[in-house]
A and B are shown apart, each in its own frame.
Chain A
Amino acid sequence: MQCGTCSVICNLSPAEKPFPRKEMIWAGWGLKDKLLSDPDIWLCLQCGDCTTTCPRGVKPGDVLASLRNFSYLHYARPKFLAKLLSKPKYLPVVIAIPIIFILTIIYFAGTLTIPEGVVNYSKFFPHLYLNISFSILLFLMIIGMIKSIKVFQKDLKKNTAFKKHKNSLLRCFISAIKEILTHEKFNKCRYHKYRYYTHLMVFWGFIILLIVTIFAIIAVVFFEYPLSLWNPVKIASNFAAFLLFTGLTVMIYNRIVNKSFAGNSNYMDWVFLISIYLLVISGVFVQIARFQNWTIAYHLYTLHLVLDWFVIIYAPYTKFGHFIYRTIAMTYAKYVGRE
């Protein structure tokens, strides 16, 4: 209809060449190159303001979301991993990979039996093996990620629509990070405020857990494992788990019940959401199982590890990759003066 309501209603859209109207027109004409090199699709936080107010029932929010999903596939290196993760029929394969991997390591560590006595996970999967193998995979993941970023950056530069380079790249990056930490932009969405709170919870839950995990890897030296429930590290991680669980529950609920504004969720959305949801739940149960000395504790621990690796190692190839692309696009947008 070309009323432009979507671009007007959007609080995040810049005044010059605003989104999502131009993206909708490009999409209508099938201009794939323009869309993939467009940083604007990453500036959208999918609050649904445009979809809610569109008088024509067009869903610009959903279109941008699927463009982002398409980008994960397009920029992923190696590409086959992203392809595996994008189709339900490959789900057994992608689950099997971390399982086989973990079992193999445990086998080589020589601890492939359920230990007896008080539950102590390091008896099952010695910390040294765990940390080294995990770090190697993380390293590989980061290489893949850097490769993806390079292609993405090259595409962004190809985009000739925005040319005004006037800001320092570093300052832009710091400003983008600041925005991400405070979710300042997210708070500007008009109609569906819950998204701001839930994402803030999940985001900070992750950050805390990331810090705690790094700390835990180093802390092997200082603390005697397993840690007690009242250890500050444990308290922080449980708080993070609480944030994650609550935020994710609301997110999943709305995606199921309120499709009209939460948008249509596809397989990629669900893989990402469910995998972290299960990761959080299994993490909590692993902890309970340890204190309660449940016999299935080690099974739960294996499940938790599988999920953990699934989420972290596949990050650049799933929707989790948004943290990379968004950070870069936000920095770039600031860099070319799109604010």
Chain B
Amino acid sequence: MNKKTGVYICSGCEIGKCIDIDALANIAKNEYNTECCINHSFLCNDEGIGIIKKDIAEKKLDAVVIAACSSRVNTSEFSFENNVIIERVNLREQVVWCHPPNDEDTQMLAEDTLRMGIAKTMSILNPEPFIGENLSSDILVIGGGITGITSAIEAAKAGYKIYLVEKSDKLGGWANNLYKQLPQKYPYQQLENPIISDKISEIEKFNNIDIFTSSEIKEISGQPGMFEILISQNGKDKNFRAGSIVMATGWKPYDATKLTEFGYGRFKNIITNVEMEHLAKENNIIKPSDGKPVNSVLFIQCAGSRDNKHLPYCSNFCCGTSLKQAKYIRDFNAESSVFIIYKDIRTPGHYENFYKEIQNDEQIFLTKGDVVDISEENEELIVTVDNTLFDEQIQIKVDLIVLATGMTPANSEELNLNYRLGKGLPLLKYNFPDSHFICFPYETRRTGIYAAGALREPMDITSSIEDAAGATLKAIQCIEATKRGESVHPRSGDKSYPDLYLERCTDCKRCTEECPFGAYDETEKGTPLPNPNRCRRCGICLGACPERIINFSDFSINSISSMIKAVNIPDEFEEKPRVLVFVCENDAYPAFDMAGFKRLQYSAYVRIIPVRCIGSVNNVWISDALSQGFDGILQIGCKPGENYQCHFINGSELTEKRGENISETLEKMMLEPERIKTEFLEINEYHRIPEIINDYIEIIEDIGPNPFKEI
């Protein structure tokens, strides 16, 4: 399709001083026959932008190519009416700032970069959003504990209708079992009555919250905006449609019977913190063995927590809970004494004030230490503690031992998703379903389903309340973005979505299996059934598809191929190798920009193509590049593994796996395996870029030119 394209080249920010702008303009005019090509010394000021706007209006441009700075800067300046395609050619950060000025190779790089930009513009379309039918703005909240109730209240206040589904016959969840709660208000020194009853009476005031108790989810299908929910209340089925889902099914205490090293089950007078709360709730703190009153209690902190044999993580709430229980044990019985044996006392935030208050009680004894032995003698438990603060082993005789056990997440299979990739949420570190705890809290790997509260990570009531509000905002954001046909996150506002040319599909299931977000369902035959609203637009399916039938309107097999083909490859006698670099847009591309800010210099033999995710690189591009005459291909993705930084979870891992297939391709083409290399770069590792690039160029120079150059 022929587009009316305007090319605008900025000569500000040293660009004009370092490269020949007129030569660039000639390329646009002569090679691509663009509608117009204008040089300006300060394109992002009012005058420069005025010129572009005027041209768009008068010359009826379909596309503008702005050859200036990185697309990551001046985004609001260079934004025009929706129907105009805007392509930014990065002459500043990735050309003039990191290559020698007025140099032949720098000039060639600038020219190729412009060619790639124009070629891409010619081969893409402005996306038309997918907007589903009968979109629902209602929110399903699963779990009627403190998190679920708060989430429902917050969403109701924002004007949304909520369906709250609770398994048991009344609302409240774990919080119902509490005798007292840690202080929530200044000066954070006194225990308070649990706030759950206030919350329950508050939720009943809202008429836009439908509460289903004694209910469970039978099936969820569909996608954001169009979730079909089937629940069963006391055996009776009910169904409704919801726009997004907040999952707040909470936690289970760690199974104390596994804690044999702390004598649980062996001695009757060893209980868990949950059992302690029950005793207190009944106003009856007694020895389970004989029902006699308790005069001394010892708490063992981190019982099974921060311990690789049990739970390797800190559950966050146990320290505060033990301090709380110590306090009320002392309030019940002024003669009692309480010992707390800890690894560290962790009382985040205002709870530190409560900890200080507890330290002021002279009958509460705290020490760091390891419990090495527990025995029983004359109805007393004798606890031997080593590595104490006293620098010696001590023995303490007590009536009762409380094990401060940790939290484990509830089973997310209760969602009963009718998805190709399973009923529940994919579990990540420590089996919690959060998708990325730093960048994208609340998100799970199922778009439109947000985890909140102790299901997401161990937390107490105060944090759960905050968490509920955060997840609810995400759920609302999802509903609104879906209404506009936009991606929610991380590519917020992206209107493109995968378009499948199913006639040519071979039902190989690569897309349905590799999608990290389970966006595809499948027919029985294995043909993909896309759910655009579940899609995060990462393009991993595009990268996976061997038939190349998956494309986005502005990111396609064709658009990248035409960029690759736009590069002028010098013949082998010029001794100017060319290396194609696919960079992840999320981490590697900004890192290249930062290298530019820092004026780090690297070889000008590279040609950089940003991709949505390194997992979206299709093998066809690699063979295109090799047949085009590129001497090497470098793929730079985000950090994979346990502490992955990939926005799309496993793009980098997929690239590594696909590497095997690529070697086959190379073998077929009789090429050296070194011609393709994958690197992982964290966003802050811009200083590594010159080393990565220059080392690779050296390898390529050693291997020699690509034999396909002559063809």
Q: A2-B389, A17-B391 are in contact. Are A25 and B362 (CB under 8 A)?
A: no
Contact code string B91-118 (vs A, CB < 8 Å = 1, else 0): 0000000000000000000000000000
What's the minimum C-beta distance from A1 to chain B, rounded to whole angstroms? 8
**Measured CA separation A2–B362 after assembly (Å):** 17
Pick from B356, B389, B391 the residue with the most CB of A within 10 Å: B389
B366 on the A face (CB < 8 A): yes
What are 18 A-B residue pairs whose CB atoms fall within 8 Å in the complex? A2-B368, A2-B389, A17-B391, A22-B389, A22-B390, A22-B391, A25-B367, A25-B389, A25-B390, A26-B390, A28-B359, A28-B365, A28-B366, A29-B365, A29-B367, A29-B390, A30-B362, A56-B356
Interface residues in A, total, Cβ within 8 A: 9
What A residues does B390 contact at CB under 8 A?
22, 25-26, 29
Since A26-B390, A28-B366, A29-B367 are in contact, a sample of 15 more A-B pairs with Cβ atoms closer than 8 Å, ordered by chain A residue number, is A2-B368, A2-B389, A17-B391, A22-B389, A22-B390, A22-B391, A25-B367, A25-B389, A25-B390, A28-B359, A28-B365, A29-B365, A29-B390, A30-B362, A56-B356
**Measured CA separation A189–B391 after assembly (Å):** 27
What's the minimum C-beta distance from A286 to chain B, rounded to whole angstroms? 49
Contact code string B354-381 (vs A, CB < 8 Å = 1, else 0): 0010010010011110000000000000
**Measured CA separation A26–B389 after assembly (Å):** 9
What's the minimum C-beta distance from B581 to chain A, rounded to whole angstroms? 49
What's the minimum C-beta distance from B353 to chain A, rounded to whole angstroms? 12
What A residues does B366 contact at CB under 8 A?
28
Give the interface SS of chain A, mostly helix, strand, loop or mixed. helix
Pick from A17, A25, A26, A56 the residue with the most CB of B within 10 Å: A25
Pick from A22, A26, A28, A56 the residue with the most CB of B within 10 Å: A28
What's the minimum C-beta distance from A28 to chain B, rounded to whole angstroms? 7
**Measured CA separation A29–B356 after assembly (Å):** 15
**Measured CA separation A28–B359 after assembly (Å):** 8
**Measured CA separation A137–B624 after assembly (Å):** 110
Interface positions of A from 1 to 37, Cβ below 8 Å from B = 2, 17, 22, 25-26, 28-30
What A residues does B389 contact at CB under 8 A?
2, 22, 25
**Measured CA separation A17–B390 after assembly (Å):** 10
What A residues does B359 contact at CB under 8 A?
28
What's the minimum C-beta distance from B25 to chain A, rounded to whole angstroms? 64
What A residues does B367 contact at CB under 8 A?
25, 29
**Measured CA separation A68–B368 after assembly (Å):** 27
**Measured CA separation A22–B389 after assembly (Å):** 7
What's the minimum C-beta distance from B354 to chain A, rounded to whole angstroms? 14
What's the minimum C-beta distance from B522 to chain A, rounded to whole angstroms? 57
What's the minimum C-beta distance from B140 to chain A, rounded to whole angstroms? 44
What A residues does B356 contact at CB under 8 A?
56
What B residues does A17 contact at CB under 8 A?
391
**Measured CA separation A56–B367 after assembly (Å):** 17
What's the minimum C-beta distance from B75 to chain A, rounded to whole angstroms? 44
**Measured CA separation A29–B364 after assembly (Å):** 8
**Measured CA separation A17–B362 after assembly (Å):** 24
**Measured CA separation A56–B347 after assembly (Å):** 14
**Measured CA separation A26–B368 after assembly (Å):** 13
**Measured CA separation A22–B368 after assembly (Å):** 13
**Measured CA separation A56–B360 after assembly (Å):** 13
Interface positions of B from 368 to 426, Cβ below 8 Å from A = 368, 389-391
**Measured CA separation A22–B391 after assembly (Å):** 9
What A residues does B391 contact at CB under 8 A?
17, 22
Residue of A nearest to B356 (CB): A56
**Measured CA separation A17–B365 after assembly (Å):** 21
**Measured CA separation A121–B278 after assembly (Å):** 82
What A residues does B362 contact at CB under 8 A?
30
**Measured CA separation A145–B366 after assembly (Å):** 38
Residue of B nearest to A21 (CB): B389
Which 7 pairs from chain A and chain B are nearest by CB? A25-B389, A29-B365, A25-B390, A2-B368, A17-B391, A2-B389, A30-B362
What B residues does A56 contact at CB under 8 A?
356
Contact code string B488-516 (vs A, CB < 8 Å = 1, else 0): 00000000000000000000000000000
What's the minimum C-beta distance from B396 to chain A, rounded to whole angstroms? 10
What's the minimum C-beta distance from B423 to chain A, rounded to whole angstroms? 46
Contact code string B243-259 (vs A, CB < 8 Å = 1, else 0): 00000000000000000
